[in-house]
Structure 1
Amino acid sequence: MSEVFADRVVAVARGFVGTPYRHQGSLKGVGCDCLGLIRGVWWELYGVEPEVPTPYAMDWAERAGEERLLDAATRHCGAMLPPSQLRPGDLLIFRWRAGVAAKHAGIAAPEERFIHAYEQAAVIESPLVPSWRRRIAGVFRFPEPF
């Protein structure tokens, strides 16, 4: 991903900061969850929905046990990258603990930060501190538009 496109990804994601948390939402300024943030950013970058998820409960990952986020990220962004290659603009997928499916997503920002929808609050930019870093289950790069 070029630095110009990476900067655009970060700028679009930062445009969602302050959007209230809304389960299954994906609208800037109206409401979104972490998946909705990624869907909304994708829409602004490419002008299409990556795919429309089926309705999901808040505990979907615990009940399903499938790696739905990692699988979708691979379908749309290509192969997972090692965390050592993390750059601003990359898609981050997090796993809360070993043995459960990954169920949180965000976008890497400069200066060791990331943008994500914080449950019961809003889209925020947080420091990517060690407690978050060790939960990274996957790093993906948004595809460069043609």
Structure 2
Amino acid sequence: MSRVVQAARGWIGTPYVHQASCKGAGCDCLGLIRGLWRELCGAEPELPPAYTMDWSEPQGTEALWQAAARHLTAKPLRDAAPGDVILFRMREGSVAKHLGVQSQAGSNETRAMPGRGRKRSARPGGRTGTARPIGQAEVVNSGPAFIHAYAGHGVVESPLSPPWQRRIVARFHFPKELN
């Protein structure tokens, strides 16, 4: 398992708090990536400007994409690997404004996970799906999965289902020595 995925799984169960980046206390999707950077690379290369919680930015600037390109290494969309930072455009015509970490690659087949206390994970379209139990390292999904912070759910590991995959617009990796 990559160091990035191992570190990201340590954030599962962190509550969703807009613009925060504190493991166990609160973070949003950018805060998860910022916290992982601090954990794996050291001091953050820059602090983010204020940003809205919704998917629309009036100026239409791809600020998140531009910042990722400045500090992470871009890679082809088709070259998915655990530890990748993935950028999503949630609505056509809006800026790309959601991030996650690919936790596993593979097919889209899922399997039932034994146990209790599963955390539910929201998926595009308002549907919910089963994610990992909070604080446990078991993997729910034998197919592609990702770890992200989602309003109302906190940091969860979710299947990277076709609706999510269609929204991926860019893929990056942390500095090579971390993977």
Do the structures match in fold with TM over 0.5?
Answer: yes
Q: Which structure 1 residue ranges, 4+ long, deviate > 3 Å from structure 2?
A: none
Aligned with 1:127 (options 115, 137, 159): 159
Which residue of the partner structure matches residue 22 of structure 1? 17
- Residue 36 (1) aligns with residue 28 (2): no
Which deviates further from its counterpart, 33-42 or 58-67?
58-67
Q: Distance in 1 between matches of 2:166 and 2:91?
A: 10
Aligned with 2:45 (options 50, 60, 84): 50
For 2:174, give the aligned amino acid: F
Q: Distance in 2 between matches of 1:59 and 1:133?
A: 20
Q: Distance in 2 between matches of 1:70 and 1:10?
A: 21
RMSD value, Cα? 1.6
- Structure 1 residue 145 displacement after superposition: 4.1
Percentage of identical aligned residues: 54
For 1:106, give the aligned amino acid: G
Secondary structure at the aligned position of 2:2 is classed as helix
- Structure 1 residue 83 displacement after superposition: 1.6
- Residue 143 (1) aligns with residue 175 (2): yes
**Scaled by the length of structure 2, what TM-score is found?**
0.74
Q: Which runs of 5+ in 2 are unaligned?
A: 105-142
How many residue pairs end up in the alignment?
140
**Higher percent of residues as helix:** 1
- Structure 1 residue 122 displacement after superposition: 0.8
- Structure 1 residue 51 displacement after superposition: 1.5
Gap change, CA 1:50 and 1:60, over 3 Å in 2: farther
Aligned with 1:13 (options 8, 25, 42): 8
For 1:94, give the aligned amino acid: F
For 1:43, give the aligned amino acid: R
Q: Which runs of 5+ in 1 are unaligned?
A: 1-5
- Structure 1 residue 96 displacement after superposition: 0.8
Describe the superposition over 1:5-35 as per-residue Cα deviations: whole angstroms up to 9, x where unpaired. Answer: x610001111000000000000000000000
- Structure 1 residue 60 displacement after superposition: 6.7
Retained in 1: the 8 A contact 2:55–2:94? no
Q: Distance in 2 between matches of 1:22 and 1:29?
A: 11
